[in-house]
Amino acid sequence: MALPIMIDCDPGHDDAIALVLALASPELEVKAVTASAGNQTPEKTLRNVLRMLTLLNRPDIPVAGGAWKPLMRDLIIADNVHGESGLDGPSLPEPAFAPQNCTAVELMASVLRESQEPVTLVATGPQTNVGVAARQPSGAAREDRPHRDHGGRHGAGQLAAGGGV
């Protein structure tokens, strides 16, 4: 049986590849994808999720945008690495579907509430949506629900590609 996951990301090239790999894996069932500001602005990262899911012909996966900036500082984007769009380089289709009419945290809570089994949250970018979800009384983030992260840290976070803080 495939492991149910939600992906919280800020695509960039790295997270775009992570989406491709997760969706190609028969061992994973992607139940939702949420986006936050990070490698680019929140509008661009949300658009990039929609573009990638359009490319992969997966309009069935619910998508929502989340955090507009980190909790502890102003947003610093990595356009020097990922380009102006956040996914410069490859030719990608325009989004063929719209995001859900809710926030990332609301979508996370909904997926967890409706799931008959634990859903693992895979956060490949900033942990802002995860932090906001953890503060919610709705149970959007609970200790009995696994959480895997890549790229997060406690404090100011990654300020630039190359790891400068």
Confidence of residue 136 (pLDDT cuts 50, 70, 90): confident
Q: How many structural domains does the chain have?
A: 1
> 76-135 pLDDT, tens per residue?
998 889 889 999 999 999 999 999 999 999 999 999 999 999 999 999 989 999 989 888
| 57: in domain | yes
Whether 112 and 138 have beta carbons less than 8 Å apart is answered as: no
| 125: in domain | yes
| 31: in domain | yes
Q: Residue 121: phi, psi to the nearest 5?
A: -90, 120
Whether 54 and 96 have beta carbons less than 8 Å apart is answered as: yes
What integer pLDDT is reported at residue 2 of this predicted model? Answer: 96
What separation, in Å, do the N-terminal and C-terminal C-alpha atoms of the chain show?
Answer: 41
CATH number at residue 88: 3.90.245.10
C-alpha span between 89 and 93 (Å, rounded) = 13
The domain in which residue 24 lies consists of: 3-149
| 156: in domain | no
